[in-house]
Chains A and B, each alone.
Chain A
Amino acid sequence: MRLGEFLLVAVLAIPALGALAVAATPVDRVARLVGTVAAALTLLATVPLASGEHAWSGGLPRPAVQPWHQLDLPWVPGLDLRFHLGVDGISWPLVVLTALLTLLCCGYTLWRVPEGGGSGRALVALLLVVEVGILGTFLALDLVLFFLFFEVVLLPMYAIIAGWGGEDRRRAARKFVLYTLFGSVLLLVGVYVVVAAAGTADIVTLTGGGGLSRSTQLAAFTLLALAFAVKSPLWPLHSWLPDAHTQAPTVGSVILAGVLLKMGTYGLIRVAVGVAPEGARWAAPVLGMLAVAAILVGSLVCLAQDELKRLIAYSSVSHMGFVLLGVATLTTTGLQAALIGNIAHGVITGLLFFLAGAVKDRTHTGALADLSGLRETAPRLAGLLGFAAVASLGLPGLAGFWGEAFAVIAAVRRGGPLWTTLAVMAALGGALTAAYFLRLLRRVTHGRPSPVVGRLAPSLAGAELTAWAPLVLLALAVGLAPALVLGYASAPVDALVGVLK
């Protein structure tokens, strides 16, 4: 077995075995430590995946997906299911981000287990299982395998919300799982519409629409896009997200916003657009309009929002709107904007949820009305919150800027009255984003300390700083050098756009 194949297996096997080890370890604290070590090892295994031959060395014609490493084993021939994994420039940044966020969450759980009744051991085990599902989704190069991993995430995430969440957690968890299962079953039907027509489930072969008739592509794209729109989430299918985020424990929100939503946008790029390009071209205007609606609706709701975590959740709807707008343009610029927007949103919103969790843990409230003057009593926390908010609203030089700016540019370049209008409206949404984040900062950090804020100690725990520092650094790094992500993504995106035409 070559190194690349070994690494691909290791990336999935380490967290899976880690989850089993955590479940089998009786002492809670030791178990959490075991889980954190497993998450760290996983991160270590994801990094060298970037090694190896990146340029296409095979003959012509170049396939639209050129994995750096791949592993292809038969599993269930009767269902056209192969255990086909691979990594390329579109998936690798997301894989690393997933491993990093899971490590941070496990480390954070080492320090503090959210209240709610469940043991920390079980929480860490579930986080690792969720990691397996997300990594598997990003690595799968077989449609059926992709669907399988897509589903793996559902129940562990449900259990995280229902076991360690806030007051109204059961309802929120149920809403999450039913909504996202609705998306998953559409994905199942969509996948087999493609498989039944093409006779193969191999994403490498299928990308570019290889031989699928127009009507099949339209049906498949509709089903797949709906499935991913629920997951991303795209307005008007987003209503599970605010509840799930508000009720989930901090680590749950971080994983949910940081990487779980990315399964939707990644799937849209890799599976829906890749496999049914004709359908994508047909549906692009609708997708673009819905994306812009998501941006505007998300921003407007945020302007009126009075709860910290809910506000961040709705801001996710708006940010994912930019990502989807980028995808909808179906241009190189747009797809690259979507990819970097994905990473930036994962880093920044992960950080924002960590900070919101810290504020809620300390003050036991998330109502903006009860919070003010955070910078008087807890200046470091307030400073970090300010940094994250500014990064999220898209200040040039920080990670959030590139995705939003280039999504708008891509829409303008697409030309025509529709796309120009969409670009203008999206830009307007960008301005609204700035408005609601500044409103958030004014209400939370400025002003006189409210009674609950007045009692806060200024210090931050070492574990908190350790969990947040990598995200702060990444937000800066991606902002200053977007080539970190785009350098890897440009070749595969070019190849994908090549087959779209």
Chain B
Amino acid sequence: MSLVQSVDNVALLPAYLAAGTAVLVLLADLLVSRAAGTVAVAAAGSVATVAGAAVVGAGGERRTFCVGADCSWVFGGRAALVAAVFGLLTLGVLALSGPLLRAGRTPVGEYCFLLACAMTGGVVLGGAGDLITLIVALETLTLPLYVLVGLRRGSLASAEAAVTFFVVSVVATTLTLLGAALLYAVTGGLHLGRLGATFEERPELLDLPLTTVAVALVVLGLAFKVAAVPFHAWAPATYDGAPLPVAAYLSTASKLGGVVALLAVVQLALPPTVTGPVLALLAVLTMTVGNLVALRQRRTVRLLAWSSVAQAGYILAPLGALALAAGRTADARAGAYAAAVAYAVFFVVLELGAFAAVVALRPADADGGTLDDLRGAARRHPWVGAGFALALIGLAGLPPGLAGLFAKVTVVRALLDGGAGWLALVVALNAVIGLAYYLRLAATLYAAPGPVEVGVRPARVVAAALAVATALAVVVGFAPQLVLDLAAR
């Protein structure tokens, strides 16, 4: 065996581009030291990452860093989709940060650098082929966010949010690492494909208590990252304390990262007989608790945070079909994974739209405020209000938010194909609870304005981001096959 590995640099191009963006941002901040220049470099880097991911992804799967048949870097259709979505989300969040950065209390260079670092983590996450790469990528994604969450200077809530997030996240990572170590002890492998093959070949390993513990630790550690109940308690406080654009990033990109990691281990590495029931239970708890608690929220971002907890439940739900034998046939499994990815894509588009609208309707460096602060907002800003209402209705899964409707339909279909009718019913009934609070928020937007008039002019760049997110939601609403095709690759 040669000691010099040949490295396929083309496969690594998206990761190079993302990491290069971070370095360039740092240099630009040092040399040019003009806010607009730094942001422009970060935006251009995100666009380049998206383009790179699209080009490399179009050419079929590429692997590198291989030991025998096992590779640590597998860049296929799914990885390209994930990298592209991360790039676009970073671009969107940069746009949402416009007013915050212009207000001048946030260091622009550091902000953009951290965002670009998180993007790098996301891009690598999509291509990760072994557990260690996966965990390191996930940490690269979340580590910058600890700092970003605490960036609202002089805000106690922000500092509290950062510490909560930090502690919970570190514990979660430790659990996942421990799980990975135990898996190595059981199977002697860390590559996702190798683990899956080992469990397939030697089913007696599944009877070991150590295996169960290892699988449970990995799955639960990742469940923290997607804020699945009962590991969700950090999310509402963190979202509410963070600056609004960072909350948007947390609830879209960071959540997507958790989902991608979970999918990777469940799909490739861990035995579905063990993970299926756990994921089904997590999904039921997550959507039900998230929805029920969201009903009682009076603060906008907390409501969105709890609702995104519930949405994580819908994303996990198709994986719950693996709990049943009928859901473990090849077709049903492929359908379930594709449904989870498709739902996640529909969700991030709508969630980004909702957060863009909140940013547009709130003063530059304010937090999300209460629902009453948004009373009558749609009458003052009809276009922003319409975009917000469309995003909320989409999240609730009703027409005219067709994107959200098709997302729910995809999940229900995958569940019924897998024979998990009961879980489909739970998803369906949760959609009814969800509508109650989404509708309350949407109705508040159109209610008669309160006595306090907050004179906020939506920033142009935020309005543009909202317009793009809304347009995307409308397009994938009428042509959901685009997303379904991408998700199935």
* B484 CB to nearest A CB, Å: 4
Chain B: minimal CB distance from A295 (Å): 28
B-chain residues with CB within 8 Å of residue A189 when the two chains form the complex: 412, 416, 421, 424-425, 428
Please give, as numbers and ranges, the residues of chain B lying within 8 Å of A185 by CB-CB distance.
428-429, 431-432
B484 with A76: CB separation less than 8 A: yes
Interface string of B360-401 (1 = CB under 8 A from A): 000000000000000000000000000000000100001110
Cβ contact within 8 Å between A188 and B429: no
**Which candidate, A45-53, A150-158, A302-310, A370-378, is the interface stretch facing chain B?**
A150-158
Given contacts A154-B398, A177-B435, contact A77 B412 (CB under 8 A): no
Q: Which residues of A contact B155 (CB under 8 A)?
A: none
Within 8 Å of chain A (Cβ to Cβ): is B436?
yes
Chain B nearest Cβ from A128, distance in angstroms: 13
Of all chain A residues, the one with the shortest Cβ separation from B338 is A78
Task: List residues of B (96-110) whose CB comes within 8 Å of A's CBs.
Answer: none
Q: Is the CB of A151 within 8 A of B481?
A: no
Q: Does A182 contact B (CB under 8 A)?
A: yes
Q: Say which one of A190-198, A206-214, A318-326 lies at the interface with B.
A: A190-198
- A-B pairs under 8 A by CB, number: 81
Partner of B399, one of A76, A144, A155: A155
Given contacts A76-B481, A151-B405, A181-B398, contact A192 B432 (CB under 8 A): no
Residue of A nearest to B481 (CB): A76
CB distance from B486 to the nearest CB of A (A): 11
> B413: nearest residue on chain A (CB-CB)?
A192
Q: Is the CB of B398 within 8 A of A188?
A: no
Q: What DSSP secondary structure best describes chain B's contact surface?
A: helix
The reply to whether B399 and A152 contact each other, CB–CB distance below 8 Å, is yes
A76-B480, A78-B481 known; A162+B443 contact, CB < 8 A: yes
- Which residues of chain A in 168-197 are interfacial with respect to chain B, using CB atoms and an 8 Å cutoff? 170, 174, 177-178, 181-182, 185-186, 188-189, 192-193, 195-196
Report the separation of the CA atoms of residues A140 and B448 in the bound assembly, to the nearest whole angstrom: 38
Q: Is the beta-carbon distance between A181 and B435 smaller than 8 angstroms?
A: yes
Interface presence of B406 (CB below 8 A): yes
Nearest chain B residue, comparing its CB with the CB of A132? B399
Chain A residues near B405 (CB-CB < 8 A) = 148, 151
Q: B421 near A219 (CB under 8 angstroms)?
A: yes
Q: Given A76-B484, A188-B412, answer yes or no on A181-B424 (Cβ-Cβ < 8 Å).
A: no
Query: Does A417 sit within 8 A of B, measured CB to CB?
Result: no
Within 8 A of B (CB), among A76-128: 76-80, 117
How many residues does chain A have at the interface if contact means C-beta atoms less than 8 Å apart? 32
Once the chains bind, are A117 and B428 in contact (CB under 8 Å)?
Answer: no
Shortest CB–CB separation between residue A419 and chain B, in angstroms? Answer: 32
Complex: A494 Cα to B432 Cα, angstroms: 38
Whether B412 and A78, one on each chain, are in contact in the complex, defined by CB atoms closer than 8 angstroms, is no
A-facing mask of B411-428, CB < 8 A → 1, else 0?
011001100010011001
- Chain B residues whose CB sits within 8 angstroms of the CB of A152 once the complex forms: 399-400
Taken together as a complex, chains A and B put the C-alpha atoms of A77 and B481 apart, in Å, by: 7
Known pairs A78-B484, A148-B399, A162-B443; A196 contacts B413 (CB<8 A): yes
A425 to chain B, nearest CB (A): 33
Q: How far is the CA of A162 from the CA of B445 in the complex (A)?
A: 13
Beta-carbon nearest neighbor of A183 in chain B: B432
Q: Which residues of B contact A79 (CB under 8 A)?
A: 406, 409-410, 413, 480, 484
Chain B residues with Cβ below 8 Å from A77 are 481
B30 on the interface (CB 8 Å rule)?
A: no
Across the two chains, which residue of chain B brings its CB closest to A154?
B398
**CA of A77 to CA of B417, assembled, Å:** 15
Q: Is B439 an interface residue (CB 8 A)?
A: yes
Closest to A122 in B: B446
Query: Which single member of A75, A155, A158, A182 contacts B400 (CB below 8 Å)?
Result: A155
Chain A residues packing against B (C-beta within 8 Å): 75-80, 117, 133, 144, 148, 151-152, 154-155, 158, 162-163, 170, 174, 177-178, 181-182, 185-186, 188-189, 192-193, 195-196, 219
30 contacts between A and B (CB under 8 A): A76-B406, A78-B410, A78-B481, A78-B484, A78-B488, A79-B406, A79-B480, A79-B484, A148-B399, A151-B398, A151-B399, A152-B399, A174-B436, A174-B439, A177-B439, A178-B432, A181-B431, A181-B435, A182-B432, A185-B431, A188-B408, A188-B412, A189-B412, A189-B421, A189-B424, A189-B428, A193-B416, A195-B413, A196-B413, A196-B417
Which 3 pairs from chain A and chain B are nearest by CB? Answer: A185-B428, A78-B484, A196-B416
Contacts A79-B410, A188-B412, A188-B428 given; 12 further ones with Cβ under 8 A?
A: A78-B410, A78-B481, A80-B413, A154-B398, A158-B439, A174-B439, A181-B398, A182-B429, A188-B409, A189-B416, A192-B412, A196-B413
